[in-house]
Chains A and B, each alone.
Chain A
């Protein structure tokens, strides 16, 4: 019996895949939802500033607002391109 169950559980069903994908996307969307309204705009403007100096892609700037105890942490992440374009 246990032997059979082992094989059953090992086979990842599409429903399991769906659940995992949803958990990730929903969690991500909830953090931006509860964040202040200015975050998306600030992200856009920051991207413009960065792009004035470095050619980065649309998704290269990520902003995350986390809470650590009483402290709110604004994490800004800019992914730079592999080979910097000479200017």
Chain B
């Protein structure tokens, strides 16, 4: 039985696809057979972020409609063993997804995979609902910014009521907060919500804090998941997040301003 993890947020542009690519890749690197599914039907992008856009032949909707089988549609990653991508369709709209079809595909994947990572589209419509419905765990990607935090709270409400686990009154979906695009220097100046602020408002366990990093754009330019840039802060922060997802207890890094030297101690007087 595979563990189904949805990467969701409500708001667009906060880093869901970047996170799906990073966490999927990270889990595969630890030896777990992992598939990342793009639920953003109509606006597929996971293939670009993972660098396999030219290898897409069949997609998720083809499989749901029995126009192709899973072996034909799954794209095997060329860099990491155990990693597969199931791309979204570009030509259809979100309404093409039906719950029975999605369930059939997830059940079939569940027979051979350890982890199924569902990259949710933005919004709270059909696509997002389908992506979260079968989830065992949810990573709620949030930026330290008012609209993103509010949308994340709405998504938490849906996770608690509109998922299969909620409907069957089983153990609830395990929720994780992933704070992305974090800038400790701005937090220190009082220009940005802190990790503690966001944790207090959303009241779910913290999976990780990904610092704002120029390397995330560079990674997506190259179609290489950021977690593969093992020297970058963001890549390391994602590695930590994957470890925590697997149950390790690690101290959160990149949440404080890096101490530059002795004179930093006097910042109280400078400000």
A binding-site residues for B, Cβ under 8 Å: 4, 8, 11, 13-16, 18-19, 21-23, 25-26, 29-30, 33
Contact = CB atoms under 8 A, between A and B. Distances in A.
B247 interface: no
Contact of B268 (A4, A13, A26): A4
B150 interface: yes
B153 interface: yes
A29 B154 contact: yes
B201 A13 contact: no
Contacts of B193: 15, 18-19, 22
Interface of B: 145-146, 149-150, 153-154, 157, 187, 189-194, 197, 200-201, 268-269, 271
B191 A13 contact: yes
Given A18-B193, A30-B153, A30-B157, 4 more contacts: A22-B146, A25-B150, A26-B149, A26-B201
B190 A14 contact: yes
Nearest to A15: B190
Contacts of A13: 189-191
A29 B153 contact: yes
Contact of B146 (A4, A16, A21): A21
A30 B154 CA distance: 8
A21 B147 CA distance: 11
15 contacts: A4-B268, A11-B190, A13-B189, A14-B191, A15-B187, A15-B190, A15-B194, A15-B197, A19-B197, A22-B146, A23-B201, A26-B153, A29-B157, A33-B154, A33-B157
A19 B199 CA distance: 11
Nearest to A25: B150
Interface centre among A15, A23, A25 (most CB of B within 10 A): A15
Contact of A18 (B146, B153, B189, B271): B146
A33 B158 CA distance: 9
A15 B192 contact: yes
B125 to A, nearest CB: 17
Contact of A22 (B149, B192, B194, B268): B149
Contacts of A14: 190-191
A4 B200 CA distance: 27
Contacts of A26: 149-150, 153, 201
A29 to B, nearest CB: 7
Nearest to B268: A4
Contacts of A8: 271
Contacts of A16: 190
A58 to B, nearest CB: 21
Nearest to B145: A18
Contacts of A30: 153, 157
Nearest to B146: A18
A22 B187 contact: no
